[in-house]
Amino acid sequence: MTGIDAAELRRRVTELLAAHDPATTDRTAFLQARFDAGLAWVHFPAGLGGLDAPRALQAVVDAELEAAGAPDNDPRRIGIGLGMAAPTILRYGTEEQKRRFLRPLWLGEEVWCQLFSEPGAGSDLAALATRAVRDSRGDWVVDGQKVWTSSAHLARWAILIARTDPDVPKHRGITYFVCDMTAPGVEVRPLRQITGEAEFNEVFLTGVRIPDNHRLGEVGDGWRVAQTTLMNERVAIGGGRVPREGGLIGLVAETWRERPELRRHALHQRLLELWAEAEAARLAGERLRQQLVAGHPGPEGSAMKLAFARLNQEISGLEVELLAEDGLLYDDWTMRRPEHVDFAGREAGYRYLRAKGNSIEGGTSEVLLNIVAERVLGLPSEPRTDKDIPWKELAR
Amino acid sequence: MTVEVTGAAAVGERASDPDLLYSEAEEDLRAAVRSLLAARAEPAAILGRIETGDPYDPALWRALATDMGTAGLLVPEKLGGQGASAREAAVVLEELGRAAVPAPYLTSAVLVVETLLGCEPEASEEPEAPEVARLLASFASGRTVGALALPLPTGPGSALACEVRVAADGTLEGGARRVADAAGAHTLLIPARGPEGVELYAVDTSAAGVTVSPLVSLDLTRPLADVAFAGVRGRRLAGPGVAEAAVRRALLAGAGLLASEQLGVAEWCLSETVRHMGERKQFNRPVGSFQALKHRLARLWLDIVSARATARYAADALASGSADAPVAVAVAQSACSKAAVRAAEECVQLHGGIGMTWEHPAHLYLKRAKADEIALGTPSHHREILAELVNLPSPTAG
Ligand SMILES: Cc1cc2nc3c(=O)[nH]c(=O)nc-3n(C[C@H](O)[C@H](O)[C@H](O)COP(=O)(O)OP(=O)(O)OC[C@H]3O[C@@H](n4cnc5c(N)ncnc54)[C@H](O)[C@@H]3O)c2cc1C
């Protein structure tokens, strides 16, 4: 860490704004200048969009730039790249890989997706069967099928885990790659969801060639590399503060206030309970943020995803019920392939259906409860039968 | 995961960032209280006292309240206290909850002290000010123990059920039912209805005409008593207007800080249950390795994570005098009552037969949690208050 503090960052933001007035600078040019000034993600190294500053100070930069009306990199569109690929590349990538991938990733020029889950490997991700075999030149040939791949239809690159050694226990024979989604043999087919649209896809990989310099980490060490990705996925840190009523509860509360004719006593009790629970979860998120800023990250990170999944589901369920006859209607079943998830821009029925995914995506709530019980509370693990057997002998 | 909805108006939230963490000084205070309680208030000692009719250990109270100075945390230094705040008092209550200690801290060092602080002890032009200041200093030192003669349950926002009258000759007539910690108190603060509204009086429990009748209470660690007054001459502390505002202020602080006690109760129940489930073996494995139980405990932990954030926010809002304190307190009561009761219930169930025994301390926590859930307003009472505060009106509210 360098001695960069909030005042120094503010000075650099002022400099950036003076040299590239957002009002007159083209969006891409501004974002490039911001990246090159080290103000993209300040905790990254100098030269890679950062300044080796404490991560918590990013909020200072974001607030200043927002106040100045500067454009952002539309983080919702590139969430997998920012949240999962980038931290993994930073930790395990070679210098060459970092230089090649991080800048276009942050600028949003290249969208990333995550080729992890498979039809036979979801919660038990380490059981995956997609094979990567080395060819005579030392490069890799990949065959297999991935599923539930969000944004695959938009992606230029993917983070991919594949089996490189079936003869050892499942966690040990996996290797982590960067896969070119435009390479021959990559086929992306939309998978329509219960909402009507297709955010995610199935991805078929047939004889896809990946050069060895697109491997992240050592051969056989992919499970460890993937932990960095998964940890970043699950710890929903949410950089800035969320205001009171900032989530789905705010939408129901507005409906309650504006439409007295919908009010019922039993619904009122549930609304107040959920309002108080949503506020408690918001405060817990804020407390977690303060712990991180103070340099004492607590185990509460894993709590937040669980809490928000449950709250989003209960609140959106209440919203549909509250709307009564309007709850019988749906805004639009058209099959689309959206660029990002938009809870607030759609109607209650969509929110109700989409929220169902919150307890499945990024690790199911059941699996997260296992993790809390074992890693936070220190309860003993269940007896396991799969740890020491070669992958090829596991039940499938 | 958090869904941000742009344009949602913040409802009554304060502008400055609340501090939801524990400072180093607060952690030091916690460590000191915890080690005192570990040495002097182990469960066997508490179980040994609770049926004697006098659950309080006076030596423990002296060490905690007087020697460590915790009775005066809320009182400014110039009035004889420590000049700390609700944040520190909350930490003491967390530890008292964690050990289920019978000690009149919430009743004397919070409710009574906050009532007196609301009586303008520094308004030198008021004739009552010297007596208010004198009492405040004696409660802050921990040498005098007080109780507020209000019937439980009474929460912030309830109508004050005041059944004591100021008679024409200025004496007090009537009584209050279910007053917490009255039996151990030296002095009672009594809201009494005078000709122009509620006034506040101080009376020593030893005074002529005062009767204190202990009740059989659900929570033996915080016993209740009925108090009655017949022709009792009290010392007037505040007149109409001031008196009622002072009591309301105390109820808000009391409910807000009770949340921290509930948090401590919940934390003990969870950690004790986790410990037991890691040790107890059935079916050739620790029972804590069964997933059905792991998930129950993980959910309990989630509730406690949220409860802790709400309790800290309530303490911080009370300490800073934030306008958002009423919302913070209502949210904290809603979250912490539930967390404490659930944790205590799970603690009993997951201990199996031993959890049903008098000998195991789990029942102390269950009874404390259940009584705490009611004492200063039930969770549904607090949510009704919230409905008004954040404008989510009930179907019948016009
Ligand atoms: C909207 C959405 C987007 C997604 N995007 C991506 C993506 O971009 N890339 C990607 O790789 N994946 C993605 N996923 C996949 C997601 O990570 C998996 O669906 C998830 O990990 C669960 O795996 P599964 O679907 O195979 O369910 P399974 O693992 O088969 O689970 C079935 C049920 O069994 C339960 N279960 C399984 N194991 C246990 C256990 N040990 N203890 C208790 N219960 C258990 C589960 O909780 C679940 O309820 C996405 C999923 C969704 C819904």
Q: What is the per-residue pLDDT across B164-223, written as a single tens digit (0 to 9) for each?
A: 999 999 999 999 999 999 999 999 999 999 999 999 999 999 999 999 999 999 999 999
Tokens encoding A394: 């596991």
- Which of A123, A202, A351 for mutating ligand 1's site (highest number of atoms within 8 Å of CB)? A123
Interface of A with B in 210-239 (CB under 8 A): 236, 238
Whether pLDDT at A269 is above 70: yes
Asked whether residue A21 falls in the same domain as residue A152, the answer is no
Mean pLDDT across chain A: 93
Tokens encoding A251: 């939408």
Average pLDDT over residues A207-216: 98
Q: How confident is the model at residue B11 (pLDDT cuts 50, 70, 90)?
A: low
Is A367 part of the contact surface with chain B (CB cutoff 8 Å)? Answer: no
- The boundaries of the domain holding residue A199 are 111-220
Q: How many domains does chain A have?
A: 3
Tokens encoding A385: 């039968």
Closest residue of B to A276, CA-based?
Answer: B331
Measured distance between the N- and C-terminal CA atoms of chain B, rounded to whole angstroms: 37
Distances (CA, A) of B177 to A102, A174, B184, B215, B231: 70, 70, 15, 9, 18
CB distance A123 to ligand 1 below 6 Å: yes
Given A185, A201, A220, the domain boundary residue is: A220
What is the rounded (10 degree) CA torsion for A308, A309, A311, A316? 130
Given A189, A220, A251, the domain boundary residue is: A220
H or E element in which residue A89 lies: helix A86-92
Q: Determine, for residues B301 and A253 on separate chains, whether the beta-carbon distance falls below 8 Å.
A: no
Predicted local confidence at residue B3, as pLDDT = 40
Predicted local confidence at residue B349, as pLDDT = 98
Given B193, B218, B243, the domain boundary residue is: B243
Asked whether residue B100 falls in the same domain as residue B233, the answer is no
Given A72, A87, A122, the domain boundary residue is: A72
Average pLDDT over residues B5-11: 39
- pTM (two decimals): 0.94
Distance CA B48, CA B38 (A): 16
Q: How confident is the model at residue A302 (pLDDT cuts 50, 70, 90)?
A: confident
- Residue ranges in chain B assigned as alpha helix (H): 24-40, 43-49, 58-61, 86-98, 113-117, 129-140, 242-279, 291-319, 325-350, 362-375, 379-389
Q: How confident is the model at residue A297 (pLDDT cuts 50, 70, 90)?
A: low
Average pLDDT over residues B238-245: 95
Q: Write the ipTM.
A: 0.94
Given B226, B243, B260, the domain boundary residue is: B243
- Residue type at position B256: G
- CB contact set of B44 (below 8 Å; sequence gap of 6+): none
Look at residue B394 and tell me if it is in a domain: no
Asked whether residue B237 falls in the same domain as residue B250, the answer is no
Predicted local confidence at residue A238, as pLDDT = 43
Asked whether residue B157 falls in the same domain as residue B137, the answer is no
Distances (CA, A) of A202 to A76, A199, B318: 21, 11, 54
Closest residue of B to A345, CA-based?
Answer: B5
Asked whether residue B126 falls in the same domain as residue B93, the answer is yes
pLDDT in tens, B307-332: 999 999 999 999 999 999 999 999 99
- The boundaries of the domain holding residue B194 are 146-243
Q: Which residues of B124-152 are buried (b: 16+ CB within 10 A; e: fewer)?
A: eebebbebbbbbbbbbbbbebbbbbbbbb
Look at residue A386 and tell me if it is in a domain: no
pLDDT in tens, A90-142: 999 999 999 999 999 999 999 999 999 999 999 999 999 999 999 999 999 99
Active site residue ranges of A: 233
Burial of A95 (0-12, 13-18, 19+ CB in 10 A): exposed
Q: Helices A301-323 and A265-293, interaxial angle, to 10°?
A: 160
Place of tokens 């995506």: A361
Query: Whose C-alpha lies nearest to ligand 1, atom 30?
Result: A122
Whether pLDDT at A236 is above 50: no
Q: How many domains does chain B have?
A: 3
Displacement of CA A255 from its chain's centroid (Å) = 30
Asked whether residue B385 falls in the same domain as residue B248, the answer is yes
CATH code, domain with B216: 2.40.110.10
Average pLDDT over residues B342-350: 98
Burial of B38 (0-12, 13-18, 19+ CB in 10 A): exposed
CATH code, domain with B125: 1.10.540.10
Asked whether residue B255 falls in the same domain as residue B329, the answer is yes
Predicted local confidence at residue B16, as pLDDT = 65
**Minimum-distance CB partner of B305 among A279, A296, A303:** A303
CB distance A229 to ligand 1 below 6 Å: no
Predicted local confidence at residue A240, as pLDDT = 57
Predicted local confidence at residue B398, as pLDDT = 59
Asked whether residue A241 falls in the same domain as residue A357, the answer is yes
Is A383 part of the contact surface with chain B (CB cutoff 8 Å)? Answer: yes
DSSP per-residue letters across A166-232 = TTSBGGGSEEEEEEETTSTTEEEEEE--TTSS-SEEEEEEEEEEE-GGGEES-TTBHHHHHHHHHHH
CB distance A195 to ligand 1 below 6 Å: no
Q: Determine, for residues A250 and B394 on separate chains, whether the beta-carbon distance falls below 8 Å.
A: no
Average pLDDT over residues A348-367: 95
- Residue type at position A165: D
How far A60 CA sits from the closest chain B CA (Å)? Answer: 14
DSSP 8-state symbol, A243: P
Burial of B328 (0-12, 13-18, 19+ CB in 10 A): buried
- According to DSSP, the residues that pair with A121 across neighbouring strands are A118
Is A259 part of the contact surface with chain B (CB cutoff 8 Å)? Answer: no
φ/ψ bin of A99: left (φ > 0), alpha (ψ from -120 to 50), beta (otherwise): alpha
Predicted local confidence at residue A231, as pLDDT = 80
Displacement of CA B266 from its chain's centroid (Å) = 15
**How many interface pairs between A and B have CB atoms less than 8 angstroms apart?**
182
Given B93, B108, B141, the domain boundary residue is: B141
Look at residue B396 and tell me if it is in a domain: no
pLDDT in tens, B56-105: 999 999 999 999 999 999 999 999 999 999 999 999 999 999 999 999 99
Asked whether residue B330 falls in the same domain as residue B209, the answer is no
